[in-house]
Amino acid sequence: MLPKLIIHGGFFSESSTSAAVKQAKQAALKRIALEAHRYLNTHSAFETAVFAVSLLEDDPLFNAGTGSQIQSDGRIRMSAAVMDGESQRFSGVINLEKVKNPILVAEKLFPEDDRVLGGEGAQRFAREKGFPAYNPETPQRRTEYKAKVAANRKGTVGCVALDAKGRIAAATSTGGKGFERVGRISDSATVAGNYASKHCGVSCTGVGEDIVSGAVATKIVTRVSDGFDLQQAMAKTFEELTPYDGFAGAIAIDFKGNIAHLDSHPTMVWAHTDGEVTVAFD
C-alpha cells in the first residue's frame, strides 16, 4: 500500500481574502503535509495523524492549539480527538485549557478506560501526564476578541492517514468558533467530526452544530463500509446538509487509497500527498 495523507486547516474565508494569507496557508499546508508524509514512511497511520495535527496546532495561521479562538468570557478552550480505524478506539479532550497541543493529550488518553475527558478533568489529566501550562493566545486573537470581530470563526485542523500496512487513522483539533457561549461543545472531539474504520477515515471542519446534526464523519465512513464509493459517500452525506444549509467541510481516505475532500461553503483549505505529488487548495 502506498502511504498517503490529507490534511485540512479549516476554511479560508474565515481568516482573510488577502493573497498574502492565501499564499501563507498554501505554503504551510504543503510544508506540513510533506513533513508528515516523511514521518508516515516510518510510523503508523495513527502516529502520523497525531503528528500532523500537532504541527498544525503549532502554526498560528490555523485555529487550533497556538492561535485558537477566544470564547465569550475571554478564555481559550480547545478540543481534539483521534481515532484508529484498526482497533476502532477513539479518544479526545473537550474544552481543554492552557496546553500547547490538545491532540497530544487526546493521544495520551487512547490506552485509558476513560478516553474522552472535558474541562477541569481534561486539564488535570494533562498536568498528570506532564504537559506544562501554556498560553495559546496570539496578539491577533486578542485584537479580534476586543474588537468583537467575527473573523476565523469556522476553523479546525485535521489529518487522515493511510500507512503502508493499509491502516487508517483520523485526528482533529479545534480552537472553537470564537465568542461562543462557555460550555459549548464542538464536533471535533465527537464521532460526527472525527471517525475512522478499516474502510475509511474522515476529519471535518465547519460549524460544529451542523456537523453533529448531520453526523457527517460517521455517515461517510459507514457508507464506505457498506460499499459506497468514497466520492458517492461524501456527496450523499453533504446532500443531507442541504435542508438546513449545513456549513461543513470534510477530508477522507478509503482503504483503496482514494483521497477525497468536499465542502458545502467554499473554501476549505487542504493539502494531500503521497510523497511524490503534493497538492494544496487553489
- Find out whether 164 and 75 touch, Cβ atoms under 8 Å: no
Helix (H, G, I), strand (E, B) or coil at 166: coil
- Find out whether 57 and 64 touch, Cβ atoms under 8 Å: yes
Helix (H, G, I), strand (E, B) or coil at 12: helix
Task: Report the alpha-carbon distance of residue 268 to residue 250 in Å, rounded.
Answer: 8
Task: Report the alpha-carbon distance of residue 206 to residue 74 in Å, rounded.
Answer: 22
Task: Report the alpha-carbon distance of residue 180 to residue 170 in Å, rounded.
Answer: 26
The catalytically annotated residue of 156, 172, 174, 273 is: 156
| Backbone φ, ψ for residue 102 (5° rounding) | -55, -35
- Fill in the DSSP letter of residue 141: H
48 catalytic residue (yes or no):
no
- Find out whether 278 and 33 touch, Cβ atoms under 8 Å: yes
Catalytic residues: 156
